[in-house]
Structures are given as C-alpha cells and as structure tokens.
Amino acid sequence: MLKILKYSFFDLMRSRWSYVYFAFYLLLGVVLLFLNNDLSKAVITLMNVIIVLVPLIGTIFGVMYYYNSKEFTELLLAQPLKRSSIFLGQYLGVALSLSMSLILGLGIPFVFYGLFESSAIWDFSLLLITGTFLTLIFTALAFNIALSNENKIKGFGYAILIWLFLAVIYDGLFLMTLIMFEDYPLDKVSLIGTMLNPIDLSRTLILLKLDISALLGYTGAVFKQFFGTSFGLIVSFVMLSLWVAMPILRIVFKSKKKDF
C-alpha cells in the first residue's frame, strides 16, 4: 500500500492543481494577517472559508482523481497487489496531498506572523486538525461515489450533491425542524443533529474553542457545557474518526466486489 501511496502522492504533487490549492491558502493566510492584525479574527474568517471549501475540494478532487487514474488502476490490478492496498493507497495519496496543501499553505504565513508566541496557537491547531479531518472524510466519500458509479457525469453529480447536502441543505432542514418543534426541549436533539454532520460538528468545535459561544444564546450554553468539556471533545473526535472510518471500510468492501 505504501508504494501505491507514494506514487499517487508524487503524481499529485507534480500536478498543477496541488500548487493552485496550496497557493490559494498561502494567499488567504497572508491577506488575512495583512488586513487585520487580530489573530483570533483571522482564525474565525479562516474557519468560515475552510468549513465550506475543504469539503468541496475534497469531493471534487477525489472524484476527479479516481476517474482520471482509471488506466493506472487497471494496470495495477493485473499486478500482484491486493485490491484494498491499491484503492487505500490512492485514497491516502489524494487525502494526504490535499491536507498537506492546507497545512503548509496556512501554516507558513502564520508561523512567520509569530504564531508560536501567540495564545491563538490552540485555536489555530484545532482549525488545521478539523480541516484535515474534513479532507479525509470528504475524499473518502468521493472515492465511494466514484467506485459505485461507472458514469463520470453521474459520479460528479452525486459528489456535488453530497457536498451541497452536508454543507447547506442539512443546516436548512435542521433549522426548520428546530423551529417547528420549538415548544419542546431541543437540547439533546440539536446536539445529536450537530454530531451527525461532520461539517456542523467541525464548525461547532471551533466556535466553542474561540469563546464566542455567548453569541449562540441558550443553545450555545448547552453546547458549551457539552463540547467544552474534555468528554465532549473526545466524543466529537470519535465522531469525526467514525466519519473517516466508515467510508474507508466501504471503499475496501466495495473494491473487493467490483469488476474491471
């Protein structure tokens, strides 16, 4: 698996898109630090960008890479390699190169700004950790979609839909449910609802870390009580890990049954 990972990773590192993605984050980091000198505010703005953009890039890149490397995959399948190592190697190659673009692109300007002496280092680390989790999750989802759909157009369609659903539609539905049942106690429901969507979960984690939960009112207080504790933090990371593990398991399972 490590050899496949190596080849996929270097293949991607040579592609233009990795540099574009890296340069985008580099630029974003520099501009944010240059325009406002408040590190916490920069982290909040970054959060808003990352929460939406990372999943989108992860899904699109994942689907695109799978379809583009079809020939390479077929070549590998005739070699004495396990199917699971071929697909996991490719998946990790994509996910790691995307994560690296994110971490380096944002990390470099912040290190130069003097992150290590600042108190925002934990907020910033959490931002990068959730960003990496989101990359791992959405690339895995993308590989699942591509494995199940021979047709490229359909694959891209489903990939965009799943991103749209988790990033936008889910929140809308969630909010509508909360409004419809506002007469009932909804603390638990909203807590569970947040846990079930990796994007919402990441956003909540970062917001609460930034100590602006007062803006969220009563629900914020409930959330703070839960996520603010180490128990809540552990549960959240377990949830995010589950979101990574489940699609990966399906990649292994699905790839074993597929005909090429």
Partner 1 sequence: MVTIENLHKKFGKNHVLSGVDLTIADGGIFAVLGPNGSGKTTLIKSVLGMVIPDKGTITVLNENIKKSSDYRHKIDYLPQIANFPSNLKVKELIKMIKDLRKPTSEDQRLIELFKLEPFLDKKLGNLSGGTKQKVNLVLTFMFDSPIVILDEPTSGLDPISLIRLKDLIKAEKAKGKTILITSHIMSFVEEISDEIVFILEGKIYFKGSIQKLKTKTNQPDFEHAIASILSNNHA
Binding-site ranges for partner 1 (CB under 8 A): 3-4, 7, 11, 14-15, 69-72, 74-83, 256-260
- The least distance separating partner 1 from the CB of residue 184, rounded to whole angstroms, comes to 49
- The least distance separating partner 1 from the CB of residue 91, rounded to whole angstroms, comes to 17
What count of other Cβ atoms lies within 10 Å of the Cβ of residue 82?
14
Q: Give the helix, strand, coil percentages of the chain, each rounded to 5.
A: 85, 0, 15
- How far apart are the two ends of the chain, measured CA to CA in Å? 19
- The least distance separating partner 1 from the CB of residue 201, rounded to whole angstroms, comes to 37
Nearer to partner 1, 12 or 244 (CB): 12
- The least distance separating partner 1 from the CB of residue 82, rounded to whole angstroms, comes to 5
Nearer to partner 1, 41 or 82 (CB): 82
User: CA–CA separation, 70 vs 96, rounded Å?
Assistant: 20
Nearest CA to 24 among 120, 101, 99? 101
Nearer to partner 1, 188 or 258 (CB): 258
- AA letter at 88: L
Nearer to partner 1, 31 or 249 (CB): 249
29 with 109: CB under 8 angstroms? yes
